[in-house]
Amino acid sequence: MLRLSLLSVALAGLVHSTSLTVLKTTTTPNGFHEAARGWNSFGIQANPNTTPSWTGFNQGNVTPECDVLATAPFKAAGYQYCSLDSGWSTNNGDQYGRLLYDPTLFDLPSFADHLHDEGLKLGVYVLPGAFCSDGNKTIKGTTIKLNSTYNGNNDGFLRCDFDFSKPGVQEWHNSVVDLFASWGVDFIKLDFVTPGSPDNGAHLVANNSGAVIAYHNAIAQSGRQMRLHISWKLERNDTYYDIWRANADSMRTDQDINNSGANNFTMWQTVQRAIDNYRQYIVLQIPKNQPISIYPDMDNLFVVNSANISGVTDAERQSIISHWIGAAANLIHGGDLENIDDLGLKLATDSDAFAAADFSAQYPMQPRNPGTGGTDAQQLQAWIGGPSDDGEAVVILANYGPAGPQAGFNTSIARVQTVSASLDDLGIDGSGWNVFNIWDKTNSSVSSGGSLSADLDEGESVFLKLTKSA
């Protein structure tokens, strides 16, 4: 329950909140003004028991999932991308060492045509490097053998890494992206980028950031606009963050949040970790006070299916998408779009929520601790995106419940708690605000010196749109 209360001047004077630096975004390196919205296959691939109707990862099973994105509610919410994860390609390249789709699973040109006819777009998954077995092949348009460009490292995924100082490396990337463009690809997910990605049983080089630059340059020369998304849990220090933000359109801030091999998709403790990794990431951007040119990716959304399939309660499902929207993160669903319940449809397509997503795409949220306006991880937390120059903002109040092992906080406060953040805590005191509850569709107001308060159970949150009073 949301309650708006007026704090006395004397009480408000006891707390001195930090000033608010409004975070803003700018155009991404490949020309985008918002994070991607769509669906990705990995959740079902990794958790096949969630979707027994699937007989395998192939065009026949993927197409109906993506067709849901073309229905009126999803189109109105801005969904576009049907993204294939690992497993769509063969384990060797063509005569030039370029990546090929497995024709027993997919016909990517015809699939792309189908998606484009519906107003959708195609995404594919790649790893750094080229297939080691293609070493004796000549890079298209050159006389350079692929094996002359390798650095000697076999990553354990059948791929050899490049020495990015050698001639031919950029030409190979150009040839691959040109081939993708001829198929109709619109989105490239480049995984296992280092520094950042854990080995996960592979043998990764310490730094293959050159792959991000090479794919970006290849997209630029292809003449086709494509998104470049990089994964996973990437290094955030400025040396590498400056590479990511100059070349990619979104970057993973956390590990996978799905329960690999389980009968449901995710669990709340994992979501707590993902939210805190976003907090860690965005706090680094506050002191820079410059437009952000890359969107965060908090991993796939698992909110469209009922609690027994998604693995989180209905309140937690709502909290998840509220935080992903507020963070201006990729809104890529990973659940079974053919098995959406009523709440899932609302969470995935609500017009007020996606108007808030359009706003957050320009004004991503940051933490503002209740009582201080600080940025620490807390079980009882507040966030704000904006305010804009027009006097609009979005706010989340949340009770994350007792801490999981990687939640970022150590408290274990049980059951319903009152979460209260003053306008001063949020950094926007000085006038009154109209308050709209995005999910409950209720209106209220708060005056200067007042606070936003909500009684929230574990995993519950409220998502609010604030508009400055006239």
Q: Are 320 and 301 in contact (CB under 8 A)?
A: yes
Burial class (CB in 10 A: 0-12, 13-18, 19+), 405: exposed
Q: Are 233 and 197 in contact (CB under 8 A)?
A: yes
The reported pLDDT for the residue numbered 118 is 98
Q: Is the pLDDT of residue 92 over 60?
A: yes
Rounded Cα gap, residues 305 and 345, in angstroms: 9
The reported pLDDT for the residue numbered 430 is 81
Parallel/antiparallel/unpaired status of strands 331-333 and 37-40: parallel
Where does 281-361 show beta strands of DSSP type E?
A: 295-297, 331-333
* Model confidence pLDDT, tens digit, residues 341-366: 999 999 999 999 999 999 999 999 99
The reported pLDDT for the residue numbered 343 is 98
The reported pLDDT for the residue numbered 2 is 53
Q: Is the pLDDT of residue 117 over 50?
A: yes
Q: Is the pLDDT of residue 176 over 70?
A: yes
Rounded Cα gap, residues 470 and 462, in angstroms: 24
Q: Is the pLDDT of residue 14 over 80?
A: no
Q: Is the pLDDT of residue 52 over 50?
A: yes
Instruction: Determine which helix (DSSP H) or strand (DSSP E) holds 270, and give its type and residue range.
Output: helix 268-285
Angle of helix 169-183 versus helix 210-222 axis, rounded to 10: 50
* pLDDT band at residue 7 using 50, 70 and 90 as cut-offs: very low
The reported pLDDT for the residue numbered 10 is 29
The reported pLDDT for the residue numbered 431 is 83
* Model confidence pLDDT, tens digit, residues 398-409: 999 999 999 999
For residue 24, count other CB atoms closer than 10 A to its CB. 16
Tell me what the mean pLDDT of segment 115-142 comes to.
Answer: 98
Q: Place domain 2-20+368-468 in its CATH homologous superfamily.
A: Golgi alpha-mannosidase II (2.60.40.1180)
Rounded Cα gap, residues 248 and 261, in angstroms: 30
Rounded Cα gap, residues 163 and 220, in angstroms: 21
Strand order in the sheet with 81-83: 295-297, 250-252, 227-230, 185-190, 121-126, 81-83, 37-40, 331-333
**Quick check: do 2-20+368-468 and 37-360 share a fold?**
no
Tell me what the mean pLDDT of segment 435-463 comes to.
Answer: 97
Output the CA torsion sign for 445, 447, 451, 455: negative
Tell me what the mean pLDDT of segment 91-109 comes to.
Answer: 98
Q: Is the pLDDT of residue 17 over 90?
A: no
> How many Cα atoms occupy the beta-carbon half-sphere of 327 within 13 Å?
30
Alpha helices in 3-126 (DSSP H): 9-12, 42-46, 59-69, 72-76, 108-117
Q: What are the helix and strand counts (H, E) for the chain?
A: 14, 20
Q: Which CATH architecture has domain 37-360?
A: Alpha-Beta Barrel (3.20)
The reported pLDDT for the residue numbered 12 is 35
Q: CA 188 → CA 64, 121, 227, 244, 345, distances in Å?
A: 21, 11, 6, 14, 27
Q: Are 425 and 369 in contact (CB under 8 A)?
A: yes
Quote the tokens at residue 387.
């305010």
The reported pLDDT for the residue numbered 13 is 37
Closest listed residue to residue 82, CA positions, set 330, 253, 332, 282: 332
Rounded Cα gap, residues 194 and 212, in angstroms: 10
Domain spans of the chain, in order of start:
2-20+368-468, 37-360
Q: Is the pLDDT of residue 420 over 60?
A: yes
* pLDDT band at residue 429 using 50, 70 and 90 as cut-offs: confident
- Residue 335 neighbours by CB under 8 Å, 6+ apart: 43, 44, 50, 265, 301, 302, 303, 304, 305, 309, 310, 344
Where does 172-291 show beta strands of DSSP type E?
A: 185-190, 227-230, 250-252
Q: Is the pLDDT of residue 6 over 50?
A: no
* Model confidence pLDDT, tens digit, residues 140-164: 999 999 999 999 999 999 999 999 9
Show which residues are catalytic. 191, 256
The reported pLDDT for the residue numbered 8 is 29
Rounded Cα gap, residues 452 and 161, in angstroms: 52
Quote the tokens at residue 209.
């950031």
Spacing of C-alpha 307 from chain mean position: 21
* Model confidence pLDDT, tens digit, residues 291-320: 999 999 999 999 999 999 999 999 999 999
Q: CA 245 → CA 241, 249, 329, distances in Å?
A: 6, 7, 14
The reported pLDDT for the residue numbered 252 is 98
The reported pLDDT for the residue numbered 3 is 53
Mean pLDDT estimate for the chain? 95
Residue type, position 199, single letter: D
The reported pLDDT for the residue numbered 15 is 47
Tell me what the mean pLDDT of segment 89-110 comes to.
Answer: 98
